[in-house]
Amino acid sequence: MKYYILFGPPGAGKGTQASSMVEKYNLCHLSTGELLRKEIAAGSSLGIKAKSLIDAGELVPDEIVEDMIKNEFETVKDVDGFLLDGFPRTIAQAEALDKILAAKNEKVTSVISIMIPDELIKERIKHRAAIEGRADDAKDSTINNRIKTYHEKTEPLISFYKKAQAYKEVDGTGSIEGVREKVNALMDKF
């Protein structure tokens, strides 16, 4: 089983690239943001707890997303691997993932990182807000806090995975097709 992490700041195009990658490589797309939005739409107690944090641009507690990921690993069958999108987002989550995988005699196959500068993050998120209508894409204060949270809590994962020699980066500033070609070229190496 392959365990890929699609890494990058909010608005880098992870979800967009993920949809073609899952088809091409027979992977299960696991987006913790998507799973949380489903919980919110269903009005579950977890969703209610997560909503105020998501709307403020804060992260939900590590245990919540770790449990979600564990559960998906156990229930999804008939794929060649998983494509994690938006997880891990903290060093604690990355360590938890390593433990979950070690218990299965597995490890992270590779981290594919799509990088864009902060100014483009805002532009991309505003563009997406008009199309997808996500509440956390609509407010400037939420977007700014998501960028701050990314730099403070998620960016340290780059050196975490560089040390594990699992980290590959592509420039995410080009067209969707251009970025897709670069991502596929990396994926074809594994």
Q: Which residues bind ligand AMP (CB under 6 A)?
A: 10, 31-33, 36, 53-54, 58-60, 65, 86-87, 89, 93, 136, 146
Smallest distance from the beta carbon of 69 to ligand AMP, in angstroms? 8
CB 102 → ligand AMP: shortest distance, Å?
Answer: 19
Tell me the closest approach of the beta carbon of residue 188 to ligand AMP, in angstroms: 25
Q: Nearest approach, Cβ of 88 to ligand AMP (angstroms)? A: 6
- CA–CA separation, 87 and 31 (whole Å): 7
Residue nearest to ligand AMP (CB): 33
- Distance CA(99)–CA(106), nearest Å, equals 9
Report CA dihedral (92, 139, 172, 152) to the nearest 10 degrees.
-30
171, 115 Cβ separation under 8 angstroms: yes
Extract the runs of DSSP E, i.e. beta strands, from the chain.
2-7, 27-31, 81-85, 110-115, 167-171
Could you count the other beta carbons within 10 Å of the beta carbon of residue 11? 25
Q: Which is nearer to ligand AMP, 121 or 189 (CB)?
A: 121
Minimum distance of ligand AMP from residue 60's CB (angstroms): 4
Residue 114 or 136: the one with the smaller Cβ distance to ligand AMP is 136
Give the nearer residue to ligand AMP in terms of CB position, either 113 or 181.
Answer: 113
CA-CA distance, 109 to 126, in Å (whole number)? Answer: 33
Query: Which H or E run includes 179?
Result: helix 176-187
Cβ-based nearer residue to ligand AMP, 53 or 164: 53
- Cβ closer to ligand AMP: 41 or 105? 41
